[in-house]
Every structure is written in structure tokens, then in C-alpha cells.
Amino acid sequence: MKVLVTGAAGFIGSHTAERLKKLGYEVIGIDNFSPYYDLGLKKLNAKALSEKNIEVYNLDLRTDNLAAKLTNGFDYIFHFAAHPGISDKSTFEDYFSNNILATQRLLEFAEKLQKRPFFVNIATSSIYGLEATFPESVPPKPASWYGVTKLAAEQLVLAKTREKKLQGTSFRLFSVYGPRERPDKLYTRLIDCGLNNKVFPLFEGSEKHLRSFTYVQDIVDGIVSVFGKEKICNGEIFNLGTETESTTAQGIATVEEILKTKIATERKPPRAGDQSRTKANIDKARKLLNYNPQTTLKAGLEAQTEWFKNNF
């Protein structure tokens, strides 16, 4: 079977593409190689995929004619491509075009395929709002442009399932970390600061924030659990993440323990829209998908530290 992975040169997309290949699927990746962060990391990810015979095409969902540049016959689409995170350097147009418009264009492409693929949308706990501790049935209250536009993208996908024009599902991911994590994210920055004697920018109050820090391979386990359970997943939303909560302060202490060093910090003003707590409620995923994340924070951070040392 043949699968399309959007955002394949990104953090979670690249890991998922590798897992799909390992499972025996023919994997085609696309990525627009956005300069949101250092392109060197995306190119490094794409190189790793190429070495596993996974080709990543430089295509932009918003502007490129996918039908003219991609072959037919996809059985699944895994949609990771998005403008991520909370950044004061990003405009609303960045989030709108990359998260909403790009998703709509991809859905139009999927609808026109001779054999309509199962559409797996990758969403986020930011959809819930400032606290993300709820089951999927709770009305979302996003508090950032990122959360608002990812909710809109999710609803575009689910609308197609309600209209019975496509089959698909949406996974809301919680605080993912691990090898290939973006350089602007918590743990890559912490490891970089610890190894290279840099000062870590700590947003006011964030050391008390609670997070379901979830190792990337545990997230991929949940994503690929869709295979064989398409009827169960169709039209449904699932939370994926660990139920274990840790504070940012505990995360910093864990990295310091691994590196055997003290990381200097510099206080920064709090970020608007930053979540104060995430705790993945995975009752639904556990019951219907047999989802059961196992990796401890320390074990995952040891793997991420090793990756950073080997690549930077």
C-alpha cells in the first residue's frame, strides 16, 4: 500500500514516515521546507529519509498543483504539514495559509483521486485552550492563533467525513519531544544550552507549567494504530500522549541530571496563549486503539541528548 506524508521533513512527520516504511508501506513525503526554523535540520531529516528510500518532494500545499506533481493511488494521507507553535514573529496569515488553506487544498486533492485515501489529520492539544486535560467530547477553547487554525483544519477534515466524501480521523498530540525536535522547542534548546554553555530563556511562570511530555515514538505508536481500525476511527478525534505530568522545572532538572551540569536561565515575559497545563486524557485511545505510551521522560531525553550530540 502507498501512503503520502505531508510535513515529512519535520520532527514528527519524519519519524512517522520512517515507521511507515518499516511497516512495509510505500512512502512518499512532501514538505515546503519553510524557513520557520533552521532549514539545516529539515534537510538533515530529509537526508535520513532518503537513506531509507523515502523521497521527500519540495512542494507547497498552498500553491503547487499536487495532481500534476504526484502520482495517483494513495491509500492513506498523513497530514503533519502546519505552521507550528506560538511565535511573536509569525503573523495570522502565516497560521491561516499553512494550517487552514493548505489543509483545504490537500482535501480537494484527496477527493479527486480515483481511489479516495483514508485521511489522518495531525492536530494538537492547543485546540483545548490554556488547559488541556479533557476528553475529546469537551468543547474546545483555543487561546492562540495556532490553536484556532488547527481546530479549523481539524473541522475541515471531519466535515468531509460527515459529508461521506472522505474517511478520516484526527489525532490531537500532547507536548511531543525526542530526537529531531525543533530547535525552538523546550528540550532541544535546553540540551543546546547545557552542552554549549548558553543561557536558556525561561518565560515568567513557565517553570510551574504542567505538561504531558510524550516521547515521539510513543506518539507514532498511536498514529499507526489507525491501520486495521479505519471503521472505528472514521469521523473520530483521539488524544495521543502520556498521562504522566511533569513541570517545566522537572524537565530542566532532568536535562541537567543527564548532562551533569547546571543550565543558566534568563527570565523573559510570559507568552500570550501559552498553556498552563496539559494532561492527555487517553481513555478513548486506550479503549479503541489499545494505545499505551511507555517511555519515561528521562529515557526519552537520554535518546534526544544522544541524537543532539551526534548531529550538532
3-state SS assignment for residue 165: coil
Picking from 175, 180, 171, the residue whose alpha carbon sits closest to that of residue 206 is 175
Partner residues linked to 238 by β-bridges: 171
Catalytic residue positions?
146
What are the residues whose beta carbons fall under 8 Å from the beta carbon of 1, sequence distance 6 or more? 25, 26, 75, 76
Indicate the length of the chain as a whole number.
312
Residue 304 and residue 187 in contact, taking contact as beta carbons nearer than 8 Å: yes
CA angle 206, 303, 37 (to 5 degrees): 55
Grid look-up 485552550 returns 129
**Angle between the 297-311 and 248-259 helix axes, to the nearest 10 degrees?**
60
> Phi/psi class of residue 89: alpha, beta or left (left: φ > 0; alpha: ψ in -120 to 50)?
alpha
Element (H, E) at 193: helix 186-196
Picking from 70, 59, 52, 67, the residue whose alpha carbon sits closest to that of residue 7 is 59
What are the residues whose beta carbons fall under 8 Å from the beta carbon of 18, sequence distance 6 or more? 48, 49, 52, 54
Eight-class DSSP state of 289: H
Residue 147 and residue 115 in contact, taking contact as beta carbons nearer than 8 Å: no
Residue 275 and residue 209 in contact, taking contact as beta carbons nearer than 8 Å: yes
